[in-house]
Chain A
Amino acid sequence: MIQTIVSTDLPVDEKWQIRKNVLTGGTGKKRICIVTGTHGDELEGQYVCYRLNRMVAEHPEWLDGTLEIYPALNPLGIDSITRGIPGFDLDMNRIFPGAEEGTMAESLVHRLMLDLQGADMVIDIHSSNIFLREIPQVRINVNTADRLVPYAQWLRMDFIWVHEAATVLESTLAHSLNSLGTPVLVVEMGVGMRINHGYCERLVDGILHLMYQMGMWRELPDLSRSPQESIVSGIGGVEFVNAEASGVFLTENRNNELVEQGEEIGCIVSPLTGETLQRVTAPARGLMFTLRAYPVVYEGSLLARIYKM
């Protein structure tokens, strides 16, 4: 059943709506919410939402409980290839938990919070941005790691990044709901403005597996495409590789590779002079889980992230 959880008038003959599809089956009382599309340039979640809908349509008898699918938390953004909310300065994922009396965006976020609160699990699907390509991973704030890592393992992603807490991240959807006791797993995978079918199929399997473990899905999904276990990072084990020159970044590498310390992972070149401005090497041996996808770089642009192993 399609439900509209937020609907407000735009100036000229249009409503700003956030919609969800509520799918129910069996007699189970548990509720899982799949949310995505907070950042309008991230699309991997669209495929996942589509496939989950199809799975339930094909096998309604396997669902025991409520699956809620929210494909577009920022519909105006997705429709206009805008990362944020068009016409609004702040990142939508930096204004949670919102405020009833705040700006339009803040009150919208507030209503969204009320809708999601109390779910047994929320999966918030992101796909990096247009600059970086990410392997399928779950990101977890260290303060919630004990509670969430076991759930995250059920998703069978390649990597679970347990990262340090930061004040500015207290205003994300995940942090706001987690601190109210509603568990949220943040999935990052792929690259902005594209859909990687393989990654998405694996996440669908992972979500169904999580639901199976939670007693919400009666059929154990085929997990042959996924690893037996995710690599879980320790705190401080991630090396960032940033550009030290401005130019064009060229690489033959793919992410999800083990790289050796000192191994070349790409170079920054000058199209004007033909010079190599920087040979980019791995600062440590480890799993390269992030790699630059957009070639034009400034000094400081993130090129790769490596989990030291």
Chain B
Amino acid sequence: MLKRIGFTRNDLILVAALLVFAAFGAWRGVNIGVSSAVAEKVIIRVNGEVLTELPLDEDRELGVTGYDGGFNVVTITNREVYIREADCPDLLCVKHAPASERGELIVCLPHRIAVELE
């Protein structure tokens, strides 16, 4: 079937190599503990520098000023963290689902803000 659409042996080798590379990365990701584990603290970084670390089990809200002066509101509630409000153009950080597991990351690219769970 694949041959009929012009898929060649070399194409297959390329796809296989990419899949092996991806599988390796996924396996390493699991090993360094990116996947589900209980998170304890919230690390907020602006432009790669740690701004603050907050415990995940204390409900609170924090206004964060981004790299270009932009504004984001980071909310911690019920052992979950999310960005409640922001004035970035895309609002993708606000649309991101609340994070609760170790290794999860919420990013606001326009403001260069990263909220990471550890």
Are A and B part of the same complex?
no
